Amino acid sequence: MRVEIDELSVEVAGARLVREVTLTAEPGAVVGLVGPNGSGKSSLLRCVYRASRPSSGTVRVDGADLFAMSPREGARRLAALPQEAGAEFDFTVDEVVAMGRMPHQRAAARASAEDAAKCREALRRVRAEHLRDRGFLSLSGGEKQRVLIARALAQEPRVLVLDEPTNHLDIAQQLEVLHLVRDRAGGPDGPAPTVLTALHDLNLAAGHCDLLYVIARGGIVASGAPMEVLTAELLAEVFGVRAHRVSHPETGAVQLLFDRLVER
Amino acid sequence: MAATAAPTSAVPEVAHDDPPRARRRLPVPVLAAGLAVLLLLSVVCAVAIGSAGLGFGRALGYLWSGLTGGAITRDELSAYTIVWEIRFPRALLAAVVGAGLSAIGVAIQAMVRNALADPFVLGISSGAAVGANAVLLFGAFGALGVWAMSTAAFGSALLAMLLVYAVANTAHGLTPLRLVLTGTAMYYGFSAVTTLMVFFAEHGEAARSALMWLLGSLGSATWGSLPVAATAVAAGMAYLLLSARRLNALAMGDETAAALGVDAERLRRELFLVTAVVVGCVVAVSGAIGFVGLMVPHATRMLVGADHRRVLVVAPLLGAVLLVWVDVASRVLLAPIELPVGVLTAVIGVPCFLLLMRRRSYSFGVA
């Protein structure tokens, strides 16, 4: 599904966290959102998965206004991995993944065989079937993230929103998470969902995203393919670092070697 | 552009530091059916056990006459009255109150996402205490006769809730931390008022009954006090059972809830209202019986896990059974003196709770 964010602003207590952001993600594309801490990435994404309302502007999913839909209806199209720590109470992995079926279920109805099958399939895709009966709180960071991705996949979303999905993970887990999102999120019969993700690591972003939006002080300052966007000038200006660009010897993706802080 | 992720086989499997926990959980239908039967037996036993020297069999006989409309002789009237007009409604009220406090305890813990919360964390019970004690100590609302106590308690409970709501409410709805802080602050405020009233009360007996009320008692149970409380508890439980999935989502966090299509702000408002009404009704007839609403939810999670679809079925039954027996103990242990129920829930509950906690690997919401 195509995601179109149009002139979206978020204002909290007089501070403008997001300023008139306009952004488009084509169906099936992996779109990255990069920017320094506090630049408004999370505030923007929170509006997309409806944890907060924008002060102005719209989010459209295949042309339909997200905020005109009921929350349930929205959640049938769009799933998210928020940044928050996760469960307070010790749900099992099975129970956490089953929550992904909520938007498709009626309140009083029991989980159907179809729901159970979809949860199993989601766990299989993230290779976490062996964790089914474990307590979610007993899992490692990487395992938790895989289970949360399974929950999002069980939701059968056409759009997947991720807020820093690789935070606190070791390098193998980071690669695995992005691999899962990029290559295994598509269902057996459905197309791969459109992915909108905030990422801290610019090299991961360059290697895994089709399109990057750079956000600074709440506004988009650059957008395009990673190769075009991640220039030395932009890195100096937005992130305050000097960097060399090299291309990945195998994939040709742009990669950055960081030098030092820009002297101001 | 190709993805650079390593092929699946090259990504190492994350090692398990702790062995996978086998979770033997009782099947909920079996557990619920067992508890329902136990509850029925408990109520029957509670009616038969007492200090009036009636004997188990005779008491059961009167219960049977009452249920079936059988005849009794004139000499039996006082014994029959004890069984049918005092013990039976009292046992039923214990069950209703136990179920209500447990169900609301579960809901509150999810609502404020805090494992230490209990039904009284929002300051409702201490608000109710102000009203109840005004009646007990100073004869306020005398015009309402026997209904003065429960009416005053319910009314001041609702007033307290409105106050907490007004203070805790923000542009982003009721946030968990703000709710707990406001409720706790109000709790201390109302408690100060109650303490002051007890302090200035004219005679010691009134102060004693005020204390009894604060610790909770089912001694004022009558057929008249049952229907309102039972209806409120039943309606509250039905609402919570229908919201079980939404409560799961809420327990995972507001952002996760939003991503799953649950409006956390609205759900929290609904829960606040349900809590106010159910706790208000329960407290009005039984005072502030502590510990049940904190302990039973945790004990239930230890037995069946955290999923609210299971917890909300088992917790009310467990709470009902517990309170029926605690009330029996409060009547019988030091008869004819009646012990405050709140003291006994703690005396019985704490060791059971600690035992359960040691036996099961159970995580109290702290990762």
Structure tokens given for A51:
């944890």
Distances (CA, A) of A119 to A47, A76, A157, B234: 27, 15, 13, 33
- The pLDDT of residue B11 is 41
CB of B19 within 8 Å of a chain A CB? The answer is no
**Token pair listed for A218:** 């709440």
ipTM of the complex: 0.90
Q: Which two tokens stand for residue B216?
A: 């909770």
Cβ <8 Å between A102 and B260? yes
C-alpha to C-alpha distances, B244 to A93, B23, B239, nearest whole angstrom: 17, 21, 9
Q: For B76, which DSSP code?
A: T
Q: Which residues of A touch B363 (CB under 8 A)?
A: 90, 135, 137-138
CB-CB under 8 Å, A87 with B23: no
Q: What is the pLDDT of residue B8?
A: 43
pLDDT for position B14:
44
Closest-CA residue to A56 (of A45, A47, A46)? A47
Give contacts of A 116-155 with B, CB under 8 A. 127, 130-131, 133-135, 137-138, 140, 142-143, 152, 155
Cβ of residue B179 closer than 8 Å to a chain A Cβ? no
- CB contacts under 8 A, A 51-80 vs B, are 51-52, 70-76, 78-80
pLDDT at B24: 54
The more confident residue out of A189 and B317 is B317
Distance CA B309, CA B295 (A): 18
Residues on chain A touching B303 (C-beta within 8 angstroms): none
Q: Contact A75/B260, CB-based, under 8 Å?
A: yes
The SS3 call for residue A4 is strand
For A83, the token pair is 């940044």
Residue B190 neighbours by CB under 8 Å, 6+ apart: B123, B126, B127, B129, B130, B160
CA neighbor of A213 nearest in space, from A204, A201, A203, A225: A225
pLDDT exceeds 70 at position A71: yes
Interface test with A, best of B13, B172, B237, B245 (most A CBs within 10 A): B245
Distance CA A110, CA A40 (A): 40
**Phi, psi dihedrals of residue A217, rounded to the nearest 5°:** 45, 40
Cα of B72 to nearest chain A Cα, Å? 47
Closest approach of chain A CAs to the CA of B75, in angstroms? 52
pLDDT at residue B16 in the model: 43
B226: phi then psi, degrees, rounded to nearest 5: -75, -50
Determine the pLDDT at residue B346: 83
Q: Which residue has the tokens 């960081």?
A: A258
H/E stretch holding A130: none
Distance, CA of B156 to CA of A53 (rounded, Å): 36
Q: Tell me the C-alpha distance between B270 and B264, whole Å.
A: 10
Rounded Cα distance, B215 and A58, in Å: 54
Taking alpha carbons only, the member of A168, A228, A226, A217 closest to residue A44 is A217
Position B76: which residue type?
E
B19: which 2 tokens?
A: 């062995």
Say what the pLDDT of residue A32 is: 94
Residue B347: Cβ-neighbour burial (10 angstroms; 0-12, 13-18, 19+): middle
Residue with tokens 């991503």: B259
- Shortest CA gap A148–chain B (Å): 10
Interchain contact B75–A (C-beta under 8 A): no
Query: A250 — contact with chain B (CB < 8 Å)?
Result: yes
> Which pLDDT band holds residue A68 (cuts at 50, 70, 90)?
very high
Q: Which of A172, A182, A252 sits opposite B12 (nearest CB)?
A: A172
Any idea what DSSP says for residue B14?
Answer: P
Q: What is the pLDDT of residue B334?
A: 83
Q: Which of A17, A89, A91, A147 to mutate to test the interface with B (most CBs of B within 10 A)?
A: A89
Round to whole Å and give the CA distance between A107 and B98: 26
Nearest to B261 among A103, A138, A226 (CB): A103
- What would you report as the CA-atom Rg of chain A, rounded to the nearest whole angstrom? 19
| Among candidates A74, A92, A173 on the partner chain, residue whose Cβ is nearest the Cβ of B261 | A74
Can you give the pLDDT of all 367 residues of chain B as single tens digits? 344 444 444 444 444 444 444 455 678 888 999 999 999 999 998 888 877 677 778 888 888 888 887 777 777 788 888 888 888 999 999 999 999 999 999 999 999 888 788 888 888 888 888 888 888 777 766 666 667 778 888 888 888 888 888 888 887 778 888 888 898 898 889 889 888 888 887 777 777 777 777 888 888 888 888 998 999 999 999 999 999 999 999 999 899 999 999 999 899 999 999 998 999 889 888 888 888 998 899 889 888 888 999 999 999 999 999 999 999 998 888 877 888 888 888 887 778 777 766 765 565 544 3
Average pLDDT along chain A: 89
The answer to whether the CB atoms of B3 and A90 lie below 8 A apart is: no
* CA A32 to each of CA A2, A21, A202, A213, A215: distance values in angstroms, whole numbers, following the listed order: 15, 14, 10, 6, 10
Tokens standing for A176?
């695995």
CB pairs under 8 A between A and B: 172
Of A73, A92, A182, the CB nearest to B3: A182
Tell me, yes or no, if B9 comes closer than 8 A to chain A by beta carbon.
Answer: no
CB pairs under 8 A, 24+ apart, for B269-272? Answer: B269/B173, B269/B174, B270/B239, B270/B243, B271/B107, B271/B108, B271/B110, B271/B111, B271/B243, B272/B111, B272/B122, B272/B161, B272/B165, B272/B174, B272/B179
Tokens describing residue B23: 């979770």
